[in-house]
Amino acid sequence: MNRRSISTPSRTKEILEQYGLRAKKNFGQNFLVDPQIVERCAQMSHCEGAVIEIGPGIGGLTEQLAKNSKHVTAYEIDENLIPVLKDVLSDYDNVEILLQDFMECDLDQKVKELEETYGSVAVCANLPYYITTPVLFRVFECPSISYITVMVQKEVGDRFAAKPSDPEYSALSAEGQYLFDVKKLFTVPGRSFNPSPNVDSVIIQFSRKDTSLSKEDLKAFFDLVRGCFKQRRKTIYNNLREYLQDADRAKEVLEKAGIDGSQRAQQLSVDNLRKIYEELA
Ligand code: SAM
């Protein structure tokens, strides 16, 4: 049967009515109702092996991922959506729907299994806005996931993509860009969602770089980065002095790293932050 895409406004409305559903604010539910955007997002996501989706909702993006990928694993927290997803996606035998809070799943184990069976694992999702950053950092920690393509609120996308000296440049930008090339793919207006949020969203793509730090070293590096950005108006010297609780050591480390201590962290490239970390290590 040639059905309309789930993400057309009319089909989404029908599904919501048929199952007596309302978007739940506490789960960050805003369903995408723009088939072109959903198709483009899936097609650009490098999902040809296996793909993990966080929050399939009523399956609009899941359907397009299923068309482009060998296997889709979708984690959904809302139990009321599970029968809907099983029903609307019943034509696809490559979709696995899991009723689970993504923050509590055993991601390493799942990625290992998927990689062994399908060769590669990507992430593609329209993320619930209330846990965007923790979800992303969970995924960042899985080195086998090379591509992450996500819809986030524009403000969050701007922070991840900001360059040194941009007003939005922060610890988040530096951490993300240490691990990934970060690209904004396109903007999605509020009217492309049901219900429409007041803000625009953006689709960003993280493409993993080759980095050498182990999980533990990475945590230590990110701790240092957060320390350097702790008080944005203070100089890097002052923030580092507080982070290390040692003024002489802070001065010495900055000198050895060749960094002018009177700058603010906001002016430092990811490479400069890494130099500070290496001097400390
Ligand atoms: N993918 C759908 C779309 O694009 O139309 C829905 C996206 S909606 C912004 C976010 C989805 O994430 C909702 O279905 C919500 O129930 C789900 N969700 C929220 N918190 C979650 C969590 N911790 N784990 C898994 N899914 C979650």
Q: How many C-beta neighbours within 10 Å does residue 12 have?
A: 23
203 lines ligand 1 (CB under 6 A): no
Would you state the pLDDT for residue 1?
46
Contact between residue 216 and residue 248 where contact means Cβ atoms under 8 Å apart: no
What would the CATH number be for the domain defined by 9-208?
3.40.50.150
Sequence ranges of the chain with CATH classification 1.10.8.100: 215-280
CATH of 215-280, one of 1.10.3720.10, 3.30.460.80, 1.10.8.100, 3.90.420.10: 1.10.8.100
Sequence ranges of the chain with CATH classification 3.40.50.150: 9-208
> Could you identify the atom of ligand 1 that is nearest to the CA of residue 24?
16
Of residues 202, 162, 173, the one with CA closest to residue 185: 202
Of residues 132, 140, 118, the one with CA closest to residue 51: 118
CA nearest ligand 1 atom 23, residue: 101
Would you state the pLDDT for residue 65?
98
Please report the sign of the dihedral spanned by the C-alpha atoms of residue 151, residue 155, residue 159, residue 165: positive
CA nearest ligand 1 atom 14, residue: 57
Mean pLDDT in order along the chain per 10 residues (281 residues):
85 96 95 97 98 98 98 98 98 98 97 98 97 96 95 96 96 96 96 94 96 88 96 95 97 97 96 95 86
218 lines ligand 1 (CB under 6 A): no
Would you state the pLDDT for residue 212?
80
d(CA 276, CA 270): 10
